[in-house]
Structure 1
Amino acid sequence: MSGAQGGQARPRVRATDDAGPRGTRVPGGGFARQVHAEWTKFRTIRGWVAGLAVAALVTALLGLLSASSSHASCGPTDAACPAVPVGPDGGAVNDKFFFVHRSLTGDGSITVRVTSMTGQIRKPDATPGVRNVVSGVVPWAKAGVLVKDGTRQGSAYAAVMVTGAHGVRMQHNYTHDVAGRPGGVSRQSPRWLRLTRSGETVTGAESADGARWTTLGSVRLAGLPATVRIGMFAASPGDLTVTRGDLGGSVTAVRFAETTAVFDEVSLGGGTSGEAWRHDDVGVTLEPDGSPHHPGRAETSGATFTVTGVGDIGPSAEGMSVENTLTGVPAGLIVVIVVAVSFVTAEYRRGLIRTSLLAVPARGRVVAAKAVVIVAVTFVAALAACAVAVTYGTGILRDNGNQVLPVPWLTEVRVVAGVAALFAATAVLALGLGFLFRSSAAAVTGAIAVTVVPHILATASVLPAEAAQWLLRLTPAAGFAIWQSVPEYAHVLDTYTPQAGYYPLPPWAGLAVSCGYAALAVALAIVRLHRSDV
């Protein structure tokens, strides 16, 4: 009998994109249902779930083990190292300089003329036992006028200064820097500097003759108290030298340097007191007997001040950083790559991929659904692992006497969530390679070769710095930039190389490169799936 059975017409089923063979609708044909189906596959295979758990455990436990094995102490008595000073924004800072100052209550100003800036630099000894000290100043030696919320390290400040090789600058609160006129300073070519305080606003200016002034900028120092310290300062970071190592990479050395500046034509205005000038060696390092190590000094001759200082005022990178607790990430990524590849190749190996594609004729949905699932499960597992490693790892480092660089809480959140996103992007990349190669060995090897291996080569001092930087710009390993917690500052002299923990791309830009490679792998996987029989 055709067309009717029992006197009733048989209903027709119209074929759609979600229909299977012969026009019968497949339960779960929509994309959301396809994602649910892939999630069901993932959670029912114990090996995949266990693998993801292993990746999380490896990431967290290796980070905690690394933190537990790191111990530090200061001084001959193995005393705990002092805490790193913290600036107004919550970041670690250097705040070490010699300060000649008076109190300023309310609004006021200071104007000086700088007529000389000289210094000394300790160089490698040519003769054993004979100190090799030469005349000169390092590029970021500083001397000028300063308004500061007391003499406590890390307190808010604004300064206008001459530098060793970067002309006049206005800087405030350690991380902010504005360039003025280039050039040095001498008796024949002096520099006039001025700071003016009005409430919480401090304005800096410079002049070549003391008559025609150029404003460098005005900054607001939130919470600046009514009474502050105002005066002249000098500071000099160490002399940094970088040499190529025998096995590649670089060797860094920092040697003692100091700077001496001569100030005259000192003029104070507003609510400055008539007290005598005070001298403070802010942040000076003390010897075990309590005497200062490399102390600064100041001399006064009539209205002329000669101030000598060491140290620096700016951001600090001296200590352990948050990302030092994430040493287990490369190993965790390898495990995640294996799981993500198996999520694809297991179906090819068992012939189940044909069933999946018959159920969902729109083949791109299969790839996309698997990508959604692997992103979700990997991100959640990695987020938990990284949160544990960072939270407990930093505590262990501090308990072991290490100086851990404080960072704003938003930076810490970015590191934890960003590394979890890097895990997810790497998993998607591995998933795409699984569809492209259809071989576990080939896909796993390829994913590790373009993500983990470039990072190891770039940070293990086996490549020149330039080659390491290009490797972390052009490969999926660029995403490791997301965990850099201490940024690079143009006004701080440091070794800004991958070996020292600095990446060539900004954190989010580096992660975007990794995500771009993951998206490309998925797109190519979809193309190949459409062009092949299975």
Structure 2
Amino acid sequence: MTAVTPYRSRQAAGRDGFAQALRAEWTKLRTVRGWMIGMALSTLLIVLLGLIFAAGSQSSCSAGPVEVPCPVPPTGPGGEAVEDHFYFVHQPLDGDGSITVRVSSLTGELRKPDVTPGVRNVVPGVVPWAKAGVMIKESTRQGATYAAVMITGEHGVRMQHDFTEDVAGLPGRVSASAPRWLRLTRTGDTITGEESADGERWTKVGTARLAGQPEKVRIGLFAASPGDLTVSRNVLGGSATASRFAEATAVMDRVTLRGPAAGGTWSRDDIGVTKELDGTPHHPGRSVLSGGTFTVTGVGDIAPLAEGLPIERLLVGALMGLIAVIVVGVLFVTVEYRRGLIRTTLIAGPRRGRMLAAKAVVVAGAAFACGLLGVAVTVPVGRSLLAANGMPIAFAPLPTELRVIAGTAGLLAVAAVFALGLGALFRRSAMAVVVAVAAFLVPYVLATASILPDEAAKWLLRVTPAAGFAIQQSLIAYPQATARFAPTEGYFPLPPWAGFAVMCAYAGLVLGLAAYRLRRRDV
């Protein structure tokens, strides 16, 4: 009579067998000094290269012949660095109220490269995110909470508030024959933006709730224009970005102001204007009031500041650490083939898929632990060094920073599994290391080093294992910010976890192919 092992017993036996395999593989890893040195080297490379980078990065600004610390950018209500530079014509509003205006023109000027030396080349034009309209702002302090409804150069009507929030209205430009009416209404701590083509039929654009704003705020008209962003190409297809001076001028009339203090004297502020050494404004804004028509000219922008060093730049050593864990991941399996020990391993644990899975878990766990230690030290210490050197640091919320730290460790762990799979598949150390390094680092370097056109760089970072580097991105691509959202600037085409998933899929595919080959043939 044949005894049949109950299902639960087989499950328990499977768990016990996998646990034994894990212990066996961990014993192999920790008892080979070279492998443990390789893992420790990944930690050391992350820390040393990151801190050397931070210590050597310095920033200063000039005030004439004198070097001075660069001004700290204002921060918005959410703590992020912002640009808050515009021309504001305003009155006080104490309590509820509204402002209505008709915008009949939005024009501007752009600075282009000089054709004749010494002669400024200024041409007519409006940048896509030039903006003008009506605003309610807590105060004239830079970074103060606000809500605005506006017409833009190429993005139609928008309602924006607190720098990071943006809602689209109807598309189209304004002209004398096609004006646009704008209205902003405050009720309690809620502000509603509306638009109209004729001043009679109104369409709501959006609402904003500005909690914590005082009863007395500023309400009025504004104009701003970010710089003219241009991208130049090199002979290889790579590119460089430059931003040149631009200003916007809006013609606004039919101004109706309702609420306490309505009809008072208009104040004028060039908020955030840069000052020359003698105290005079550099590229000042201006306004003219004639017969009830306001002509307002502004320079600058009201948006998240797409500048500052992101925290992932401190992780330059992760590239070298990645190579170290790749080498260990490959050797963790190829050494057994080279020395003929694989048969002994398979006799001790005849379930070949289980053995390979145990190796993957062990090498991934070791790589993750070493990477996490290195990144957790590098980021806070490196940030302190950058701050001491006057380097502006891009704002990253705590959840984003934790994702960058843990994600970088996960990047190393998955790379180790990918390398292990290649080692088991090829069974030759040199070939597996070369393929693994090429799969991760070559696409990444090509995409981020201004070598390829933007679209080609984005394509590489979508379809190769290098997509996993997206897990390190801390920058947010705000559509209303004037910036070049390209890999060379730190922006990846896939969201962080989507890019990480692409890398995991490659690792799973390679490990699966290796397991298939292992089942068919020992050596």
Band of TM-score, shorter chain: over 0.9
Query: In 2, Cα distance between the equivalents of 1:222 and 1:358?
Result: 68
| Residue in structure 1 matching 2:91, options 102, 108, 111 | 102
CA–CA distance in 1 between the matches of 2:522 and 2:497? 39
Q: Distance in 2 between matches of 1:474 and 1:172?
A: 36
Q: TM-score, normalised by structure 1?
A: 0.93
1:452 matched residue in structure 2: 441
Residue 7 of structure 1: aligned partner = none
User: What is the distance in 1 between the residues matched to 2:502 and 2:20?
Assistant: 31
Q: Could you tell me how far 1:422 is from its partner in structure 2?
A: 0.9
> Does the alignment pair 1:267 with 2:229?
no
- Cα 1:27–1:521 change in 2 (3 A) is closer
State the alpha-carbon separation in 2 of the partners of residues 185 and 15 from structure 1. 80
Identity, in percent, stands at 60
Please say if 1:303 is aligned against 2:292. Answer: yes
Whether the aligned pair in 1 keeps the contact of 2:273 and 2:284 (CA below 8 Å) is: yes
Task: Note if contact 2:182-2:194 (Cα within 8 Å) is conserved in structure 1.
Answer: yes
1:166 aligns with 2:158: no
CA deviations on 1:350-395 (whole Å, 9 max, x unpaired) are: 2222122112221111111111111211111111211222111122
Measured in 2, the distance between the counterparts of 1:115 and 1:227 equals: 30
Pick the aligned partner of 2:226 from 237, 243, 254: 237
Corresponding residue for residue 526 of structure 1 = 515
2:354 to 358, 365, 368: 365
Alignment of 1:492-531 (within 5 A): 492-531=481-520
Quick one: which of 317, 323, 334 aligns to 2:312? 323
> What SS does structure 2 have at the residue aligned with 1:128?
coil
Q: Measured at CA, do residues 440 and 144 of structure 1 come closer, stay the same or move farther in structure 2, by a change above 3 Å?
A: same
Task: Say if 1:31 and 1:365, in contact at 8 Å, map to a contact too.
Answer: yes
Measured after TM superposition, the shift of residue 427 of structure 1 is: 0.9
Q: Secondary structure at the match of 1:478?
A: helix
| Residue type of the alignment partner of 1:38 | E
Cα distance in 1 for partners of 2:497, 2:397 equals: 17
How far apart are the structure 2 equivalents of 1:357 and 1:271?
A: 85
Q: Show the counterpart of 1:4.
A: none
Query: How far, CA to CA, are the matches of 1:153 and 1:36 in structure 2?
Result: 59
Distance 1:522 1:16, change over 3 A: farther
CA distance in 2, matches of 1:316, 1:435: 47
| 2:75 matches 1:75 | no
> What is the alpha-carbon distance in structure 1 between the residues aligned to residue 432 and residue 3 of structure 2?
41
SS in 1 for 2:394: coil
How far apart, in 2, do the equivalents of 1:237 and 1:478 lie?
32
Q: Is the 8 A contact 2:257 2:263 kept in 1?
A: no
Cα deviation for residue 93 of structure 1 reads: 1.6
Q: Deviations over 1:168-222 (max 9, x none)?
A: 1111121222111111112221111011112221111000111100001112223
The aligned residue for residue 286 of structure 1 is 275
Aligned mates of 2:200, 2:307 — CA distance in 1: 42
Alignment match, 1:30:
17
Query: Which residue, out of 126, 140, 144, partners 1:155?
Result: 144
Query: For the Cα contact (< 8 Å) 1:29–1:360, is it kept in 2?
Result: no
Any conservation in 2 of the 1:192–1:209 contact (CA below 8 Å)? yes
Asked if 1:66 is matched to 2:62, the reply is: no
Cα distance, 1:33–1:265 mapped onto 2, change above 3 Å = same
Q: Note the alpha carbon deviations across 1:27-79, whole angstroms, 9 max, x for none.
A: 99521222122112211222111111111110111111111111110123211
Give the corresponding residue for 1:352.
Answer: 341
Query: Is 1:40 aligned with 2:32?
Result: no
Residue number in structure 1 paired with 2:179: 190
Give the ranges of 4+ consecutive aligned residues of structure 1 lying more than 6 Å apart after TM superposition: 12-17, 25-28
State the SS of the aligned residue for 2:67: coil
Listed one character per residue, the Cα deviations across residues 327-352 of structure 1 (whole Å, up to 9, x for unaligned) are 11111101110111111112222222
Query: How far 1:246 sits from its partner (Å)?
Result: 2.5
After TM superposition, the score normalised by the length of structure 2 is 0.95
SS in 1 for 2:374: helix
Indicate yes or no: 2:60 matched with 1:89: no
Contact 1:75–1:288, Cα closer than 8 Å, also in 2: no
1:8 matched residue in structure 2: none
Other-structure match for 1:204: 193
Q: Which residue pairs with 2:36 in the alignment?
A: 49
* Residue type at the aligned position of 1:250: S
Q: Provide, for residues 250-281 of structure 1, a one-character-per-residue CA deviation record: whole Å limited to 9, x for no partner.
A: 12221100001111111112234554221111
In structure 2, the partner of 1:405 is 394
Residue 337 of structure 2: SS of its match in structure 1?
helix
3-state DSSP of counterpart to 1:517: helix
Q: Which amino acid aligns with 2:60?
A: S
Looking at CA atoms only, which structure, 1 or 2, has the larger radius of gyration? 1
Size of the aligned set, in residue pairs, is: 517
Contact 2:342/2:522 (8 A) holds in 1? no
Provide the rounded CA distance (Å) in 1 between the counterparts of 2:425 and 2:227. Answer: 53
* Structure 2: gaps of 5 or more residues: none
Say if 2:104 is the partner of 1:115.
yes
CA shift in 2, pair 1:264/1:288, >3 Å: same
